[in-house]
Copies of this chain bind each other. A is one copy, B any other.
Amino acid sequence: MTERIGFIGLGIMGRPMARNLMKAGFTLTVWNRSQPGIDELVKEGAAKGSSPADVARRSDVVITIVGDSPDVEEVVLGPRGIIEGAHRGLAHVDMTTMSPAVTRRIAERLGEAGIEMLDAPVSGGQQGATDGTLSIMVGGREETLERCRPVLGAMGRKIVHCGPSGAGQTVKLCNQIAVALTNLGMCEALVFAARSGIDPRVMIEAVSAGAGTSWQMENLAPRIVERDFRPGFKVAHQGKDLRLALEAGERVASPLPGTGLVQQMFAALETDGLGEEGTQALVKALERLADLEVQ
């Protein structure tokens, strides 16, 4: 394991992922938009790059996990971006959830500079990032994935090659679509139960035993009943991902009526100042209409 890893984006997901790479024995050079994230990792043994370009210059594989498409464009193609640190054999693995179309455009620009790019967004939240059990959905050349697999394996448990460049992002959006509607079904069932005078805990127990069950029902419904809205995954981030899904759906002419509905509800929650709560706060959109609280 001789690869030198660059890591850009030391947020709530990036920090534990970078730590897992160091634990696995990789040498890390890090960069972040703000200083405190860098200091923390440097204290734990990472080297500090002076810019994304500098990180790229000093690495064989550079990983990015930042906010959204424009942030990726900036650290990759912007001034002192990764592309300026291009060298023979450099691979770029972008683990941000972003637009499949923008991903393909960036991959093309990087390809012209001799840099192989993988899109490798993740599912599993902060807990999965900490435990190294993320699901990683990968788009790009299979050879590049094989080369980077030991690196990804230090951060995730399930690594699925989804197809060419952008395919990882597309499958991540499929994941968010499934999550969004399962979440809505759970929330409608909870509000309907509470409004009907049923103990929502009993409903969760009964429904979890059959065809109505889901990761959301088993993991998030109990938190709602406890009025625990701390984020495993934030309303604002899911709102962004659903906007990406609707944009991509329009581009490929794939109708997403349910996703559109949930996206509008998340947008309303954000407008209402709930962007930092967990996605289970979707129930609040229904509770306000019904004028009650599930508990």
Contact = CB atoms under 8 A, between A and B. Distances in A.
A211 B181 contact: no
A81 interface: no
A180 interface: yes
Given A198-B167, A212-B215, A215-B214, A177 B160 contact: no
Contact of A191 (B212, B216, B255): B255
Given A135-B210, A162-B206, A202-B160, A181 B188 contact: yes
A36 interface: no
Contacts of A261: 257-258, 261
Interface string A170-188: 1101111111111011101
Interface in A188-238: 188-193, 195-199, 202-203, 205-207, 209-217, 219, 233
A207 B178 contact: yes
B214 A135 contact: no
Contacts of A37: none
A251 B260 CA distance: 27
Nearest to A168: B206
Nearest to A163: B198
Given A177-B188, A178-B186, A188-B177, A206 B255 contact: no
Given A254-B191, A257-B261, A181 B182 contact: yes
A152 B88 CA distance: 69
Contacts of A207: 123, 171, 174-175, 178
A20 interface: no
The binding surface of chain A is classed by DSSP as: helix
Contacts of A102: none
A100 interface: yes
Given A123-B211, A202-B171, A206-B137, A252 B180 contact: no
A37 B224 CA distance: 45
Contacts of A206: 135, 137, 158, 160, 162, 171, 174-175
Given A135-B209, A181-B182, A192-B248, 11 more contacts: A123-B210, A135-B210, A157-B209, A160-B202, A175-B206, A181-B258, A192-B254, A195-B254, A210-B215, A211-B215, A214-B214
Interface of A: 100, 123-125, 128, 135, 137, 157-158, 160-163, 167, 170-171, 173-182, 184-186, 188-193, 195-199, 202-203, 205-207, 209-217, 219, 233, 245, 248-249, 252-259, 261-262, 286, 289-290
Closest 8 CB pairs of A and B: A181-B185, A214-B214, A123-B210, A178-B212, A195-B254, A174-B189, A158-B209, A160-B206
